[in-house]
Structure 1
Amino acid sequence: MRSIDLTGFGSTALVDAIARSMAGLPATPGALGVGVSGGADSAMLAVHCTLFARAHAIPLHFFHVHHGLQCVADQWQAHVHDLAWRLDVPCHSIMAQVDVSQGDGMESAARDARYDAFSQLAQLTGVKHIFLAHHRNDQAETVLLRLLRGAGPGGLAAMAPYSNRGGLSYLRPWLDVGRASILMQAKLFFELSGWQAVVDPSNADDRYTRAALRTRLTPELDARWPGWQGNLVRHARLSGEAQQILDEVAAADFALLEPAADRRSFSLAAWRRLSPPRQALVLRYWLALCAQRMPTDARLQDLMRQMRGLHALGHDRQMQVRHGTTTIRCRLGRVML
């Protein structure tokens, strides 16, 4: 296969979105990574990141995660490496370990495995910033799924344009870009190069939650409310702003709870002086600080009921609430993990 000449190719709007995403970084990175599955979205992000990286003389790496969940996964891996070779970009692959024992489902397990794999590839290459190809359609689906699951403002904020996980920065420059624009570029790229993106059959398999929404509900929404995706993306942005304000309130409240230096305990009496909504807010904030999973609303309400029923100084040591792999206790007026 010949190398691909990208002269004159690419969407200015898509490259500009990448540039705006980069402008939010504190400094120009030494190298960038792009997650590339081989599908149209990630392949076009890889191509446009290549254009951006060449224009700014920034080293670029493609990261491919082999989940081993499809019989054609080996072919996808080879196909991604072929794209990288033809673009003259180094490509790195890794086999993910998908653990479904946590009970959150295959989609969640595959996502966690993918981030673990990205972390390993980033260590290998020295990359600190990784681009992901989520777009407006993905964002709208995420907001809708979280709404159906009863998420609050933090959950409804959906995917952030810039996030940190495990010491790595993840950038999603195309959250305001509709997939139709990306597919148009994929078509033009095929006409230019003969390289065609792969199609993951699980994306249309309605045994998976997101695929069910995409194949069953989305066509109805498109027909009746054509602007629904843009509306939900705007809702995600507003929810993110609201959550930021709530986080600032929670941080201020937590500082008044006489927290321990390691932040794993606080004063029960001080917590009781807060209004009920702020009691719930600061508990969620505390659990997040301690890297704990968020409880369901029912479990949080039960925890608060028990905390309100304790002796004011916490002499009642009967409260032991299991939370994941930890236990929340109260001793001598202190709530602790």
Structure 2
Amino acid sequence: MAALAPPVAAIRVAVRRALTGLPSDGPVLVACSGGADSLALAAATAFVAPRLGRAAGLVTVDHGLQAGSAQRGEAVAAWAREAGFAPVAVVRVEVAGRSGGPEAAAREARYQALTDVARQHGAVAVLTGHTRDDQAETVLLALARGAGPRGLAGMPARRELAGVPLLRPLLMIGRAETRAACAVLGLSAWEDPHNTDPSYARSRVRSDVLPALVGALGPGVLDNLARTARLVAADNAALDELAETALAAARHPGGGLLVPALVGLAPAVRGRVLHVWARELGASPGALSYRHVAALDALVTEWRGQGPADLPGGVRVLRRADRLAPVTPG
């Protein structure tokens, strides 16, 4: 018997780990564009899931942004049916008119479609094909934005999205491995032209920045960037737990937060407390930035009688003696 090709074996092991421990009832769904990463993930899931007694379906999302996208979606669906996936869904989404840039709008539409299909079929998880290389790109983009620890933590291996678990089994698998696995399995992967379009920041990082880093520092830089994300994510989890406890202790019975309970906190913990509280008050998570949290922090640590801190969404916070409280309109 011929030995299993290492890339195929590595991806199957990653999928098995991701599926182990999920609730026994309900299928998993693979999000598959037809690119090498998601196609390798789908092929591995088609092999692993039945051996775990697990049903597996597949969803491909047509963003309608490129010529031939509908035909490509149907081709992916036809392959999925032959591979034994059920259910198989092709979902057309509307990207225009959504907030944010084109990448953000397409991502929002895609994830909404995935969670909708997951709920329709009672899926216990959706699997996506993000790889170690995607993680490295995410970390570099976060560094460039000055995003702080949350950005440097990159993409989590698991997150809840609209009540649906989203799993990323391949975050320790390189893009070269997914391409190699497709070649071994005889799968023809689609090359998304957006991945090489220089108008997108991620495409420039992929085509220019990462190759330059690998050339200067060696191929280990990709693993190191992905490892950094995992380490920072673990630190974030610990700090978030401390912040949850601190927030509960700082709440004023009449609403707002007690300043004396905040002053003695470590800055990293206090910042998280203020960030969570600002979101509770209605500040938009997407617009809430470092400067907003810093303005709240100044009311705690550098108060000289200054006026309220203005947060996104028209939220205003004022310090009254030893208490932070939202300003009531009118």
Q: TM-score, normalised to structure 2's length?
A: 0.86
Give 1:286's aligned residue: 277
How many positions carry a matched residue from both structures? 316
* Structure-to-structure mapping, 1:179-328, within 5 angstroms: 179-190=175-186, 195-226=187-218, 227-258=220-251, 265-274=256-265, 276-287=267-278, 292-293=284-285, 295-306=288-299, 308-309=302-303, 319=308, 321-323=310-312, 325-328=313-316
* Secondary structure in 2 matching 1:117: helix
* 1:87 matched to 2:77: no
Task: Assess, with a 3 A threshold, how the Cα gap between structure 1 residues 245 and 215 changes in structure 2: closer, same or farther.
Answer: same
* 1:336 matched to 2:329: no
Give 2:20's aligned residue: 23
* Secondary structure in 2 matching 1:199: coil
Task: Assess, with a 3 A threshold, how the Cα gap between structure 1 residues 242 and 251 changes in structure 2: closer, same or farther.
Answer: same
Residue 185 of structure 1, CA deviation = 1.3
Q: Deviations over 1:11-36 (max 9, x none)?
A: 222111111112354x3342111101
Distance in 1, Cα, partners of 2:252 & 2:76:
49
Distance in 1, Cα, partners of 2:54 & 2:309:
53
What stretches of structure 2 of length at least 5 have no aligned partner?
Answer: none
Equivalent residues of 1:140, 1:229 under 8 A apart: yes
Equivalent residues of 1:247, 1:285 under 8 A apart: no
Task: Assess, with a 3 A threshold, how the Cα gap between structure 1 residues 281 and 12 changes in structure 2: closer, same or farther.
Answer: same
Distance in 2, Cα, partners of 1:85 & 1:70:
24
Aligned-residue identity in percent: 30
Equivalent residues of 2:257, 2:325 under 8 A apart: yes
Give 1:3's aligned residue: none
Give 2:107's aligned residue: 111
Greater displacement, 14-23 / 235-244: 14-23
* Secondary structure in 1 matching 2:250: coil
Give 2:9's aligned residue: 12
Partner letter of residue 233 of structure 1?
A
Q: TM-score, normalised to structure 1's length?
A: 0.85
* Secondary structure in 1 matching 2:89: strand
Equivalent residues of 2:292, 2:310 under 8 A apart: no
Give 1:42's aligned residue: 38
Equivalent residues of 1:40, 1:183 under 8 A apart: yes
Task: Assess, with a 3 A threshold, how the Cα gap between structure 1 residues 289 and 61 changes in structure 2: closer, same or farther.
Answer: farther
Residue 275 of structure 1, CA deviation = 5.2
Q: Deviations over 1:257-315 (max 9, x none)?
A: 12569xx843345334545554323112334566741632223223333565376xxxx
* Structure-to-structure mapping, 1:123-162, within 5 angstroms: 123-162=119-158
Q: Deviations over 1:23-74 (max 9, x none)?
A: 354x334211110111111111111101011212211110111111112211
Distance in 1, Cα, partners of 2:128 & 2:295:
38
What stretches of structure 1 of length at least 5 have no aligned partner?
Answer: 1-7
Distance in 2, Cα, partners of 1:309 & 1:99:
45
